[in-house]
Amino acid sequence: MLRKLFVLVVCLGLILFAAGCGQDETASDEQKDIPVVGIIQLVSHPALNLDYQGFVDQMKEEGFIDGKTVKLDFQNAQGDLNMTKTIADKFVADKVDAILAITTPSSQAAAQATKGTDIPVVFIAVSDPVSAGLIEAVGEPTGTNITGVASNDPVEQQMDLIEEMVPGMKRLGVMYNPGEANSVRNVNLIKDYVAGKGWEVVDGTVSSSSEVQMAAQSLVDRVDAVFMPQDNTVMSAVQSVIQVCRDNKIPFFTGDTESVKAGAVATIGNDEYDCGRQGAELMARILRGEDAGSIPPEEIRKRTLLINKKAADAIGLEIPQSVLDRADEIIE
């Protein structure tokens, strides 16, 4: 009797196991029917995280919900430029349906990896996609597998803002990683523009986030203000710059709004969340069947004048009323 019962239990277990396998196979088949978008983000910091969040939120509005109608395979390179290439190569090997590349290094890696394939690439958070070799012109169809959103920094407006807020401005410290093409381009634009103002530019260069604090300290007593363009390396350790500048009463300006929310003084910067949404709109068009090469790359559509009055008060910097009057947002 016990032997028959044992055999019955074993048989029942095998039946349930087989049924479970059949369900897994069905679920797997369903997953294969939805498009896969590989996402490469260079590093985690508030601005880039907003790009990603804006992308995800807008994709939902477009009807592409992660895990249901699309699979978003998010990969973070943790600031390692070589890792962006590894991630991009894997996406190509996996034959994803499209790639979202966040930042210039990620976009360059994706463009290189997808050469000779039909995998579309949408770039966002790229300051100068033309100089980066991604496209030939903004606003014109590329005829390739690449399109995206150009997030050019309004360098002249940013420098004019610093001049308006820092009386007697003569020496500007600029913190950036010379290994980031977007940063080099912005720094060159800064140097060309402020030469007409008679300013001296003092470089504070870094090659990794661990060098940021030391580079910031090297600018103390040498500059009247510090500026950080949209540099991913410096932004990933921006709190160190904020602290050094605050301790030494140096006005710190940035190219991104999230760093101002964290404690920098001011910016005229790109709306990174909306940039992500803009990129999602392009991606949705591709997933619905449009060819990436027929979709003209776009300029970022939204910028913000953000003032951190609390940070300015902490270093004794008085903000002109003319700046306060036209600010989009003031942090008290």
User: With contact defined as beta carbons under 8 Å apart, do 68 and 34 qualify?
Assistant: yes
User: With contact defined as beta carbons under 8 Å apart, do 175 and 231 qualify?
Assistant: yes
CATH superfamily of 155-270+304-331: Response regulator (3.40.50.2300)
Q: What is the pLDDT of residues 247-305, one digit of tens each?
A: 999 999 999 899 999 999 999 988 999 999 999 999 999 999 999 999 999 999 999 99
Q: What percent helix, strand, coil does the chain show, rounded to 5?
A: 50, 20, 35
H or E stretch including 280?
helix 272-287
Q: Measure CA of the first residue to CA of the last residue in the chain; give whole Å.
A: 81
The answer to whether residue 13 scores a pLDDT higher than 60 is: no
Q: Which residues fall within 8 angstroms of residue 210, CB to CB, at 6 or more apart?
A: 237
pTM of the model: 0.77
The answer to whether residue 5 scores a pLDDT higher than 60 is: no
Q: What is the pLDDT of residues 158-178, one digit of tens each?
A: 999 999 999 999 999 999 999
Domain definitions of the chain by residue range:
35-151+271-302, 155-270+304-331
Q: What is the pLDDT of residues 40-79, one digit of tens each?
A: 999 998 889 999 999 999 999 999 999 999 999 999 999 9
Q: What is the pLDDT of residues 217-255, one digit of tens each?
A: 999 999 999 999 989 899 999 999 999 999 999 999 999
Q: Which residues fall within 8 angstroms of residue 254, CB to CB, at 6 or more apart?
A: 227, 228, 229, 238, 260, 264, 267, 269
Residue keyed to tokens 């260069």: 205
Q: How far is CA 327 from CA 158, 267, 275, in A?
A: 13, 10, 20
The answer to whether residue 7 scores a pLDDT higher than 80 is: no
The pair of three-digit structure tokens given for residue 258, joined into one six-digit string: 């999230």
Cα 89 from Cα 110, distance rounded (Å) = 8
Helix (H, G, I), strand (E, B) or coil at 11: helix
User: With contact defined as beta carbons under 8 Å apart, do 171 and 202 qualify?
Assistant: yes
**φ/ψ of residue 105, rounded to 5:** -60, -40
Q: What is the CATH code of the structural domain delimited by 35-151+271-302?
A: 3.40.50.2300
Amino acid at 277: R
Residue keyed to tokens 């606003």: 139
Q: What is the pLDDT of residue 33?
A: 85
